[in-house]
Each structure stands twice: as structure tokens, then as C-alpha cells.
Structure 1
Amino acid sequence: MKKITYTVSTAAKPIGEHTMYEPMPDRNWEQFDPFLLLHHHGPHKFEPYNQGLPFGPHPHRGFETLTLIYKGEIEHADSQGFKSVIGEGGIQWMTAGRGIVHSENITAPLRENGGEMEIIQLWMNLPAAKKMTPAHYVGKQKDEIPVVQSSDGKIATQVVSGNHSGKQGAVTSITDLTILNVSGKEGGVETFQLHEGDTVVLYLLSGTLQVGEKKLTPNSMAMLSKEESELSIESLSDTRFLIASGTPYNEEIVAQGPFVMNSTTEIMEAMRDYQMGKMGVM
């Protein structure tokens, strides 16, 4: 059975008009390979005539991003022509690959009228062999994502990617990531079958969760042991949490702002390509 080996507790910090929790990266960021960043924005209630999220057009290369929407509506647009508005319970999965320029914000009605917003942004690295894969975007609404109910009926698991209890995820990960978005009622128990040897992180948005002999509290993230394949949890109150599992690449990582590559030379090439418009324009 997998156990918690490391935890990160976070405090809210201001970003734009809202607050954000940032459990990843931290000082031990290498151990989260292949995951790079986890930002939990909100929950926040915007006032009318707000500016929304501070994520205007900006580039990425060398990794993937996943946005999970818990409250509100998020609009996506990018230099490849992909556009969508995804509502509560949906996800936005973007493969930056060789390069893309994109923007994310709450919708115009939310900016004009105000309203609630809560999202998670997760960055997932790509191995050297796939860093220059063509850019791609997939948006899925809540009803397009498979859900598995636990045998006690108290744990609901959205299968974003990978497999859980025989159900395939809504998105096919090009690096075989398993991403599970889970909500639990008090007293609910569930077991997840993951891959032995994978990096597995669990982030708790709300509630109290029992994992082995340890309890997790809100806005904390746990690193789980690579040994064994089963992860068992008990929801000690109503909970919401995210499980991300992937094979570590054990490659050199060089990051500069929105670019994540394997060498300084590749970072310089990414900056040059962006300035020359090779990632597209918005």
C-alpha cells in the first residue's frame, strides 16, 4: 500500500484580484518529476467589472498544462486557432510541445457581473523525445468526463486521463499520465490502482483525508511512495482532491519562465522562436 513520504503545506498569496495556493514547485521540486507546477486559484468571488485572471497571451514550449475548473467558466484561446469555454467540472488540456501562444480568463459575463471562480493549473513535463511534438488543445465539459462511484457510493472519481476501475479517461495522455479528480463524502473509502515506480502526488483542496497513518488537511500536497501500486484513502469529511501519477523521466530540466527544456541552448532557441513568431501570434 502506498504511503505518504513527503508533504507540502501552503498559505494563500495574492495574484491579481484573487489569491492562490502554490504547493509545487518547492525546494525539492526535482522529486515531483514529471510534474512541474501546481497552482490552486481561489475559491474567490469576483466583484462586478473585474479584470479576471492575469493570464493574457503568453507562450509555452516543452510541456503540457491542465486546467481543472471547480467554479466558474474559463475561456481558452491560442495561436493554433483552438477556442473554447469550459464550465464547472470541466477541464482544459493543452500540449504546448514545440510551441504555442495562449490566453486563459474567466468569461466576459463573469468579468462584467462578478461571480465565483476556483481552478487548479497543473504543469506536466514532456520527455526530451516529445518536447517538439505539435501543439494541441482539448477541452472537455463535465458530462464528457467518465465518473467512477466507489462501492459505498461516497467517493466520485472523474477519470481525466489514464484508467480507474476499468474506465478510460476523457483525454489520452501522450506520456501515459493518470489524472483523477475526486470528491468524497464523509466516511467514504476508495482504493486506486496506480503504477508501481510512478511519481504520485495528491493535492487536497478541501476537507480532511486519511492516507495510511497520516491525515491531510486543506491546501496541502502529499508525495506518495513509489513502492506498491495501491493507494487507499478515507474521507474523514467532505473532501475534494486531485491525484496525478506519471513515470519520472530522470532527465536534465532547464526552465526559464514559460519554457521548460533540457538545456540552456534549447531555452535560447525557444526565446528566439517566440520572438520570430514561430509559435504563432494572437
Structure 2
Amino acid sequence: AWSCLVPYAFFAGRRMPWASPLGASDTRRRKGSKTYERASFYSRLLTLCGILLALWGLYMFALFRCFTVTTSQAGSTPKTSSPTPAAPNTMKSVRRIMPTPPQHWVGDGFHVYPVFHDLAFTKELSPWLMFDYAAPKKFSPTSSRRGVGKHPHRGFETVTVAFQGEVEHGDSVGNRDVIGAGDVQWMTAARGIIHEEFHSTEFAKKGGVFEMCQLWLNLPAKHKMDPPRYQPILAKDIPSVPLPGGGHVKVIAGEFAGVRGPAHTFTPVELWDVELEKKGTAYELNVPAGHNVIVFVRRGRALIGSEGAEKEIKPQVRRL
């Protein structure tokens, strides 16, 4: 209402005789006279006030709209996405093999490889934004805290998977937790959260081999202003599906062979931890139709693709 009424008052005021330097009530006024200068001053003042009120009205209107959208979404309950069934007899082809990126430190506790490298935050890997992998590294015992202090996130989710060692998490919502080997923490930053990540106190005291990874997952626009949330997913709660040729698939998110993972997601994604046991055995993993597939090999080697057109995938980290 303000955005409509204020401009009308502004333009109506411009037509008032006392606000015009040559108004209809006094055609004898001329430039240079005190009467003209006074009228001109009031006219400019009225114009400025009208503009400021119009801008304020537009701001209040936009704020009201934003508040309405935010409050209507705040109480929504996230649902686990339902993937589209895989198209039969369709074999994925390997589009690109990413090179080994250089390592860098995140804080003083995570020596990571930015796996996505130049493809991070691109549409090609969307909705996944970033993937950091901390290869196995031995840390000596210490009484100090190793990791990253308080820092903010907004608009996406962080997924941390611990392979060896322990990660301690704390955030501004009040969550505090420690995950160990095989556990996952799924944090939804949404409209904003501040958190910290360290080696756990017990692990730091004892020292040992530390290995983990963290992925960033974009949120749909309609959920970016949802309340932040934290999901601790323990190894014992992650279902494991055996493979016919030996090995298994741990379903963290999404679905595999009719088995759903425990993670509640806003985006239709699958996250599997796959272990293949028999060398030279062919495995077929069905994925939802229309989904791209990102394969990261931690140990060993794999041939991926249709028969006769396979491409060898090696660990990005050659030292493993």
C-alpha cells in the first residue's frame, strides 16, 4: 500500500500552487525573487521527501514479502527424495577423468585434496558443489585442538564422512557431536549456521591415522531459507547391501537395490560407499535415470563403462 500511495502523494503535491515556482495563484513571480526562491526550496524539499517515502514503501513491501515466504517455509518437514527408476539396459559412459589436484591445509587438522578442482561450483557436477578428501595421514599425540574454528555456512549442506579417526562438531544451534570411523554427519546450513570442526579430544590425545572427506551439496531455492539442521548418522544405522560378486554397497543417502539410506535429503541424490572384493569380477550398479555419476576411488583400481569401451579409474591420491 505504501509503495502505491506515497508516489501518488508526491505527484499530487507537485500540482499544488504553493509548491510551484510559477503556480496558478501567482503568475507574477519571477526568478531571483525571494518568493520564488522560497517556493523553489519547498518544492525540492517536497520532491526529496516523496522520493524517500516511496523508497521506504518499496523496502517495506519487499521485506513483508520476504517475511511471508520465510515463515511459510520454516515449519516444513524435509522429505527424503524419491529417485526416478533407472532406465533398463542403459550403460553410463565415462565423460571425464579428473587429474590429481594439489593438496592444501584446511585449518591445521585437514590436509585435503580438492577432488572436484576446477569443476567445483559448476553446473556440470550440480547439485554437488565441492568435494574435499583428507587422505590417510598420521598425526602425533597433542593436547592442542587440531582443525577449523568457528566459521559460517549458508544455502547448502555439508556431508562429512569419517573413514579413520574422529571428527568433533559444534554449531550455533547447539549441536555438539563426535563421529568416528564409518559415521557420517549431514549438516543443513540453509538460512545460516556457524560451526567448528576439530579432531576429537580423545583422538588428539592418542594420535593416529586420520582419513575423512567432506562434500558440499546445494539446496533447492525453496529450501535455502529453511531452519538449519544436523543429522548424525552412525555406521550401525547405515544399511549394507551385499553384491552378487562379493563386496557390498553402504547406502548413506538415496536408494540402492530397494534399500534406502538414513539421510533425509532435500535434493534427489544418491551417496554410496562401495567395496568390491573380487578382482576381475564385473559388477553392475543401477542408478536413477537422468542422474550423473561421480566415482571416487580411494583404493585399488576399477574399469568403468560398457564392455570394450572401459576406462581405468585409479585413486586420485597415488600414495594410497
The match for 1:33 among 101, 111, 126 is 126
**Structure 1 residues 166 and 198 mapped into 2: Cα distance closer, same or farther (>3 Å)?**
same
Distance in 2, Cα, partners of 1:50 & 1:66 = 27
**Partner secondary structure for residue 205 of structure 2:** helix
Return the letter of the residue paired with 2:181. Answer: E
- 1:208 matched residue in structure 2: 301
The match for 1:81 among 149, 170, 174 is 174
- 1:162 matched residue in structure 2: 254
Contact 1:61 / 1:99 at 8 angstroms: preserved in 2? yes
**Structure 1 residues 123 and 51 mapped into 2: Cα distance closer, same or farther (>3 Å)?**
farther
Alignment deviations for residues 32-51 of structure 1 (CA, whole Å, 9 cap, x no partner): 11111000012111011165
Return the letter of the residue paired with 2:103. Answer: K
**Structure 1 residues 102 and 18 mapped into 2: Cα distance closer, same or farther (>3 Å)?**
closer
- 1:218 matched residue in structure 2: 315
Distance in 2, Cα, partners of 1:18 & 1:87 = 15
Distance in 2, Cα, partners of 1:45 & 1:34 = 33
Distance in 1, Cα, partners of 2:282 & 2:141 = 41
More helix by percentage: 2
- 1:120 matched residue in structure 2: 213
Return the letter of the residue paired with 1:24. Answer: F
Contact 2:113 / 2:132 at 8 angstroms: preserved in 1? yes
Matches within 5 A, 1:102-117: 102-117=195-210
TM-score by length of 1: 0.73
Contact 2:154 / 2:190 at 8 angstroms: preserved in 1? yes
**Structure 1 residues 85 and 54 mapped into 2: Cα distance closer, same or farther (>3 Å)?**
closer
The match for 2:149 among 36, 39, 56 is 56
Matches within 5 A, 1:243-282: none
Matches within 5 A, 1:1-40: 1-15=91-105, 16=108, 19-27=111-119, 29-40=122-133
* Count of residue pairs the alignment pairs up: 220
Return the letter of the residue paired with 2:257. Answer: S
TM-score by length of 2: 0.65
Higher relative contact order (CA 8 A, sep 6+): 1
- 1:182 matched residue in structure 2: 274
Distance in 2, Cα, partners of 1:53 & 1:12 = 21
Please say which structure displays the higher CA radius of gyration. 2
Q: Which runs of 5+ in 1 are unaligned?
A: 221-239, 241-282
Distance in 1, Cα, partners of 2:198 & 2:218 = 23
Distance in 1, Cα, partners of 2:234 & 2:189 = 21
Distance in 2, Cα, partners of 1:84 & 1:168 = 24
TM-aligned CA deviation for residue 112 of structure 1: 1.9
Larger CA deviation: 172-181 vs 59-68: 172-181
Distance in 1, Cα, partners of 2:218 & 2:119 = 18
**Partner secondary structure for residue 174 of structure 1:** coil
